[in-house]
Each structure stands twice: as structure tokens, then as C-alpha cells.
């Protein structure tokens, strides 16, 4: 009986650990990019901040995407099959719905984070911050060909973004999940395809979300033939 009680206690502890809410949920939509996805997931595993979960939303890929995710054998990776009918905003919204954290980050499956991405973002969070943005490098064939900084704060207003365009991109953003609950997430209107993130930033600015930007390049935006 004593051994059984010890075993039950141990199982209970492991269950509590597995149910613990991580610091951030990472939403990764993907479709037929298995080899690129592998590198993206490796960049998540390389984070100096280890307390995360990743929701990989697979648009029924026809390549070896499932095998790539399974090979990592890491319970922090969760794979969800979801047919988005060509609307990536729908995949991101499913990932947000399935996420458990207070903060949501995004990583497109053909991008890569640099190791300090999450740690630097969390260091910048305070009670007056709803959205964190940072810089990105444009990379082709392993070579940086350009870079772009997100922000600054005076660009993250409704007026400025309407007249000057967006000032951040999903793979370089961290957002409070409660804002998605209030505003409904990304647009799933096919007419907004490729601009669904811009539409979201406008909604956030109109809502009064508080933006903060880090003057560091923390993601590689990979340019490739696909």
C-alpha cells in the first residue's frame, strides 16, 4: 500500500507539471514545409527561455510534416490538423484558441527565431505593455541580405499605420491573449489574405493596445523559392 501510495503521489506530481501553464504559447501554422519547419522548431528548442508550449497547426500537409514533429519527441510541441482552405488567419486563430498562456507568440514555419527571442521579449514586458515587437533579418541561402526594425512606438498608432503601413510582423510579435478574446483574432476574410496581420495591428491600435518595441534583431525571415 505504501509503494502504491508513493506511485500515485509521483504520478500526481507529473500530472501537475504537465498541466502547468507555460509563460508563452507559440502558434506555428504550416503547410508542406516539413524541412523548413524542422529548422523553425529547432530554433524554438534553442531558446534560452524554456518555459513555452508550441501549437503547430498543420493544414493537412502532404509531405513528412507529421514525422518531423513526432521525431522531436517533446511534449511541449502539440500538432493539430486543421484545414484552413487557404486562409492562414484561420490557422492562427485555431492556434490561439488552443493556447493556454497569457502571452501568444507567432512563428511562421519558414522563419527562425534567434536564441534570445523569448527571453528578451519577457525582459521587456511590464504592466503597461500589451504587444511586444522587435527587429528581423531577411535571409536567403543562409546569408543576411537586409534587416528591418519594428516600430517605433509613435508608429504604432491607428493614424500612422493607416497612412504609413504596418510596423511589425507576426514572427516578430508577442501579444496578450486577452486581446484576441476581446477582438476576435485575425481576419478570416479571404480578401484580407496576406494582409490579415496588418488588419489585426489596426484593430489593436484602435482598441488602445499598448505597443513596445525592442531594438534587437531576434528572428530570421527566410526568403526562398516557395
pTM above 0.85, yes or no: yes
> For 77-84, which contacts have Cβ atoms below 8 Å and span 24 or more sequence positions?
77/41, 78/53, 78/54, 80/55, 80/56, 82/57, 82/58, 83/59, 84/29, 84/57, 84/59
- If residue 133 lies in a helix (H) or strand (E), which one and from where to where? strand 131-140
pLDDT at res. 1: 55
Distances (CA, A) of 37 to 109, 111, 178: 5, 8, 28
Reported as type and span, the H/E element at residue 2 is helix 2-19
pLDDT of 151: 96
Query: For residue 45, what pLDDT is reported?
Result: 98
Q: Compute how many other C-beta atoms are within 10 angstroms of the C-beta atom of residue 108.
A: 22
Q: What is the pLDDT of residue 152?
A: 96
Ranges of residues in the chain whose predicted pLDDT is under 70: 1-19
> What is the predicted pLDDT for the residue at 5?
47
Amino acid at each position: 500500500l505504501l509503494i502504491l501510495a508513493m506511485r500515485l503521489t509521483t504520478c500526481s506530481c507529473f500530472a501537475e507539471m504537465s498541466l502547468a501553464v507555460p509563460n508563452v504559447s507559440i502558434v506555428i501554422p504550416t503547410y508542406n514545409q516539413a524541412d523548413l519547419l524542422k529548422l523553425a522548431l529547432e530554433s524554438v528548442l534553442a531558446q534560452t527561455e524554456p518555459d513555452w508550449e508550441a501549437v503547430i497547426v498543420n493544414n493537412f500537409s502532404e509531405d513528412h510534416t507529421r514525422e518531423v514533429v513526432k521525431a522531436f519527441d517533446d511534449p511541449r510541441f502539440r500538432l493539430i490538423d486543421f484545414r484552413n482552405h487557404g486562409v492562414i488567419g484561420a490557422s492562427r486563430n485555431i492556434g490561439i484558441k488552443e493556447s493556454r498562456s497569457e502571452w501568444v507568440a507567432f512563428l511562421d514555419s519558414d522563419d527562425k527565431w534567434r536564441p534570445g527571442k523569448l527571453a528578451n521579449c519577457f525582459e521587456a514586458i511590464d504592466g503597461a505593455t500589451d504587444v511586444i515587437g522587435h527587429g528581423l533579418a531577411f535571409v536567403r541561402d543562409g546569408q543576411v541580405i537586409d534587416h528591418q526594425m519594428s516600430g517605433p512606438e509613435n508608429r504604432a498608432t491607428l493614424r500612422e499605420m493607416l497612412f504609413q503601413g504596418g510596423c511589425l510582423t507576426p514572427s516578430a510579435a508577442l501579444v496578450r491573449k486577452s486581446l484576441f478574446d476581446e477582438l476576435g483574432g485575425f481576419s478570416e476574410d479571404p480578401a484580407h489574405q496576406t494582409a490579415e496581420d496588418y488588419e489585426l495591428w489596426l484593430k489593436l491600435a484602435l482598441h488602445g493596445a499598448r505597443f513596445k518595441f525592442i531594438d534587437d534583431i531576434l528572428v530570421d525571415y527566410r526568403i526562398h523559392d516557395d
